[in-house]
């Protein structure tokens, strides 16, 4: 076999036959894994990053779905009412409605005042007419008396209408006389005792007494009850009960409570 030289089979650097596999050789230029104390954290961060990405994707999809749903509802609402989102117009309408209500309220108050004023004018006109009729009757009586003195007794004729007028005038005079007597009797300036004062309070014939009676019903303090006022009026006071005057401050407080 001499003369053939050395025979080389296979490639140089490669092992052939049975052998135990070792660690794979590192590729040139590749950075080695690990190399630090916390090198294994990369394996733990990978699932967390994936989960965050999924959450973000799911949140974005949910937001997009809600946005589309809101747009759909908005279009549906606008189709039913084109001014449903006109908030400025709605606010202006509210202010205008309030102004109209205020104007109507003032007009109603003015109308009530005018009606009350007209009613008072009618009452005054009626009273003046009655007074004129009384003056006319007095002149007629004087003329009849003068005629009687001059011509003596003569036959007199009275129509039914004139007779009704005389009766109405007489009734009016009696009513006026009765009202004047009541007003004079209930005038607090003519009262001499506290019993009379409390009697006028009980009847409520003047503004001050009416206010105190109403305040007594509300507060029940420092003002006698109606039953007590009635007993005071009759002079039937229980033993140990004294009548005390009401001060100006107490009266004003009672009147304020009544107005409230």
Shortest CA distance to 179 belongs to which of 229, 123, 226, 232?
123
Q: Is 234 contained in some domain?
A: yes
119-134 as b/e, with b when 16 or more CB fall inside 10 Å? Answer: eeeeeeeeeeebeeee
pLDDT digits (tens, 9 = 90+) for 76-128: 888 888 887 788 888 888 888 888 888 888 888 777 776 677 777 888 888 88
Q: What is the pLDDT of residue 16?
A: 65
Q: Is 39 contained in some domain?
A: no
Q: Is the pLDDT of residue 70 over 50?
A: yes
Q: Is 70 contained in some domain?
A: no
164-183 as b/e, with b when 16 or more CB fall inside 10 Å? Answer: eeeeebeebeeeeeeeeeee
Range of the domain at 252: 188-259
Q: Is 253 contained in some domain?
A: yes
Q: Is the pLDDT of residue 138 over 60?
A: yes
pLDDT digits (tens, 9 = 90+) for 20-40: 665 555 555 555 454 445 545
Helix, strand, or coil (residue 204): coil
Q: What is the pLDDT of residue 180?
A: 82
Q: Is 147 contained in some domain?
A: no
Q: What is the pLDDT of residue 106?
A: 84
Contact (Cβ atoms closer than 8 angstroms) between residue 186 and residue 210 = no
Rounded CA-CA distance 201/204 in Å is 5
Mean pLDDT, range 133-147, rounded to an integer: 79
Q: Is the pLDDT of residue 243 over 50?
A: no
Rounded CA-CA distance 190/182 in Å is 12
Q: What is the pLDDT of residue 253?
A: 63
205-216 as b/e, with b when 16 or more CB fall inside 10 Å? Answer: beebbbbbbbbb
Q: Is 251 contained in some domain?
A: yes
Helix, strand, or coil (residue 184): helix
Taking CB atoms within 8 Å and a gap of at least 24, the contacts of 145-148 are none
pLDDT digits (tens, 9 = 90+) for 172-207: 788 888 888 877 776 666 666 666 666 666 665 554
User: What confidence category does residue 209 fall into, taking pLDDT thresholds of 50, 70 and 90?
Assistant: very low
Task: Identify the helix (H) or strand (E) that includes residue 128.
Answer: helix 87-151
Q: What is the pLDDT of residue 75?
A: 87
The percentage of residues in the chain with a pLDDT greater than 90, rounded to a whole number, is 0
Mean pLDDT of the chain: 68
pLDDT digits (tens, 9 = 90+) for 51-62: 777 777 677 788
Q: Is the pLDDT of residue 50 over 50?
A: yes
Whether the pTM exceeds 0.75: the reply is no
Tokens found for residue 10: 């296979």
Taking CB atoms within 8 Å and a gap of at least 24, the contacts of 204-211 are 208/251, 211/251, 211/254, 211/255, 211/258
Shortest CA distance to 216 belongs to which of 248, 189, 253?
253
Contact (Cβ atoms closer than 8 angstroms) between residue 188 and residue 199 = no
Q: What is the pLDDT of residue 246?
A: 46
Q: Is 182 contained in some domain?
A: no
Helix, strand, or coil (residue 35): coil
- Per the structure, how many domains does the chain have? 1
DSSP class of residue 188? Answer: G
- Cα angle 25-27-31, degrees, rounded to a multiple of 5: 115
List the alpha helices (DSSP H) in 187-259: 194-203, 207-219, 226-233, 248-259
Q: Is 155 contained in some domain?
A: no
């Amino acid at each position: 076999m001499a003369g053939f030289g050395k025979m080389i089979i296979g490639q140089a650097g490669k092992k052939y036959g049975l052998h135990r596999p070792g660690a794979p050789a590192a590729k040139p230029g590749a950075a080695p894994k690990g190399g630090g104390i916390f090198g294994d954290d990369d394996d733990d961060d990978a699932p967390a990053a994936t989960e965050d990405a999924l959450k973000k994707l799911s949140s974005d999809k949910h937001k997009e779905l809600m946005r589309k749903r809101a747009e759909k509802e908005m279009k549906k609402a606008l189709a039913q009412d084109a001014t449903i989102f006109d908030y400025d117009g709605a606010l202006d309408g509210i202010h205008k409605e309030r102004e109209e209500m205020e104007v109507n309220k003032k007009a109603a108050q003015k109308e009530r005042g005018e009606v009350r004023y007209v009613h008072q004018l009618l009452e005054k006109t009626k009273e003046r007419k009655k007074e004129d009729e009384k003056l006319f009757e007095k002149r007629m009586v004087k003329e009849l008396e003068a005629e009687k003195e001059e011509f003596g007794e003569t036959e007199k004729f009275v129509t039914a209408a004139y007779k009704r007028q005389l009766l109405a005038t007489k009734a009016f005079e009696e009513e006026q006389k009765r009202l004047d007597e009541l007003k004079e009797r209930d005038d607090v300036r003519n009262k001499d005792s506290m019993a009379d004062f409390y009697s006028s309070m009980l009847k409520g014939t003047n503004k001050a007494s009416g206010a105190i009676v109403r305040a007594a019903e509300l507060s029940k303090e420092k003002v006698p009850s109606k039953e007590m006022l009635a007993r005071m009026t009759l002079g039937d006071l229980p033993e140990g009960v004294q009548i005390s005057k009401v001060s100006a401050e107490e009266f004003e407080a009672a009147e304020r409570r009544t107005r409230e």
